Structure 1
Amino acid sequence: MTMKKLFFVLAFLISHNIFCNPTVPLPVISEFFYNEGNWQIELYFSWEWHGKYGIQGFEDLQLVCNSGEALFIDGLKFQWDSIIVIDQTMLASAFFINPDEDNISVKFSDGSGGWHWICEGIEYGPEPNLYNTTGPKPEQSICMQYFYINGFPYSYRKMKQSPPTIGSDPFNVSSRTSFSGFVFDQNMQPVEGTKFVYCEETLCYGNTVPAYACFETDANGYFETDGLFSNWHFFELTKDGYVFMEDIVFMEPDSVYYKEYYLTGVGVKTVNLMKDIEVVTAPNPFSHKTTFHISIPQELDWSEARITIFNMKGQEIDFIPIVGNPWAGGKVILDWVPGNANNIGPGLYLYTMELDGKLIKSEKLIINE
């Protein structure tokens, strides 16, 4: 498999899987706004964090970015399940945020001198991907958008928001992007019924709140939507169960995008092994060890599999082989200890599962100190 193809497949698997496993409770940072050297961060502490980590107030927390960390000043009012907007005046030391590239998060104290990430923070930089967006432009902010299915919390993603909504409506992005264009075949004829697939079908056509726009071409090969969130999108152009093209588009908020696609190749039949294989990682986040619980249907024959760990630059840092298993299907339990691998410190990582050379699953791993 070429590196380009591996990147596309990995991106598509991650873009599907980011919504597959419930992620509760809510993230802590709901919005970040930077304006000419001044910044504001909207925090929201769900009550679940109290039971999970025993957080009592700001004295148990610190704000962290790439340049360092800062404690909060004494006497700050702390509230559960409420919006708290912070800025530099509420920190005990200078906190330098890079407007072009940074990773802002919150850590909690374990009471014994150790500090650990509560959950994923706001990360952005010059090269956007599924987990990171670009730095906020003037009058833009970066928000965490939370998704619900049938009234239950499901997952979240980073989105761009314009104008900022610091101090109100947490985890809800109002900005959308318009995307339109045409799809033609190799004879320059319009292709009707081409679907732009970039999330699970249950999200596109299910009961997701807010709605996740899905769209396809009409009889003239034309497609149009004004409901795309402002972020990084990986599209598969599919028709009648075949994938004809893949594309990645990054969209800024309240913008209009137009593109024409020309399907010149033969489609590849879609095979969704993700529906057949389950991988659960627990605990996650973790500090010393996590366990992969893998369930493979009995009817799915296989002989070799592996778990591979990547950093956020896409570099392989460790792998766990499953070689020469003589039976078909069943359950596999694998422990992973980060300390056994080189160059692994606290932070955000990805793992993939491959089965007989096919990329099956990809998910996030969060390692605390």
Structure 2
Amino acid sequence: MEKYLVGGAVRDKLLGYPVRECDWVVVGETPESMIKQGFRAVGKDFPVFLHPDSHEEYALARTERKTAPGYKGFIIHADVDVTLKQDLKRRDLTINAIAMTPQGEIIDPYGGREDLDRRIFRHISPAFAEDPVRILRVARFAARYHHLGFKLALDTTELMRVMVDAGEVDHLVPERVWAELFKALKEPSPSAFFYTLMDCGVLEKIFPEIYNLFGVPQPPKYHPEIDTGVHSMMCLEQAALLSTKPEVRFAALVHDLGKALSPKDNLPHHYGHETKGMPVLEALCNRLRVPNAFKSLALHVMQYHTHCHKAGELKPSTLIDLLNTLGAFKQHNQLPEFLLACEADAKGRTGLENKPYPQAAYLLTAAKVAASVDTAALLNGNLQDAEIGEAIRRLRIQAIADMTKAEQQNNVN
């Protein structure tokens, strides 16, 4: 079998990166011959097979011809006459069009290795413009390799702008946009995803809620970076440092969407932005079909991040109501994730990146103290339903009041 390792596996091998999965291209075979050799057919749109032992993907070499707008408007040609070079040419970037034989020989017809060394994302041919998903993929690669110094080639950026002007990105379906965003949120530098989309004119079209934050000023006293869009990107980067969970990173990214709605007469102040942004966030999540775990955390962070920043100033009753709203007293809750996103907000400001955030520890302690109150007498008494809930609330408020009093006495001593 004439087979070649291709795509991300070769790229990451040459970069010294861990290889996540191996994809192979097979030249000179047919679906029938693959099945006879024990491979299992799994491809829906083109011939892809799983190796009987390793379960790695083996795809027949193929070419593609554009027939309609969008990322599904292609006719696939996979036959024994398709060469490796033809298969590689249909790929998006030169760095993804390098092949390797099982013996380790590199086959690089489009200069991918040189672009790897120069840290450049460059399209292979004008056919790049036929698939709008490639814009999202390039932005995701920027998020993955930004820390290595990768940049977009100027002609690739210009081609992406042409695609936007031609309306290609209008054919992106919500599921695919979310799929690429989800992957980008898990990369080392997720803000590079959004900056790349902004550079080529896509951000305004597919993430208008994020785009609208750029150019919106904030009080320099609290936000030395001033620009709300820049602040959101800084929050996203801080979230990436604090947590590997994409839910935390998404919540940090979108927590200030309401600031784009602030009346110009009030700028740079943003009164009530915590609640003004909630319909915007709801619409964004519904449009992209964002999973509930992301949506619920993001809504909580948006509405209550200011409460979290002022945790030490909250009355015991307000603090208990906040913890209850966040579900902190349930067995499975997102309080740790909520606190991480709020910490990312506090640190996502110029010059404040390393400032401690004691509010997180304070709220965790308060939740633990409040959850540990003895409710046995209430549950075994004559109270019913809502009365029990209110009685438990009062016990928890008292526990927080006692905790606060004890801390104040310790500070005096």
TM-score of the two chains, using structure 2 as the length reference: 0.22
Higher strand share: 1
Higher helix share: 2
The structure with the larger Rg is 2
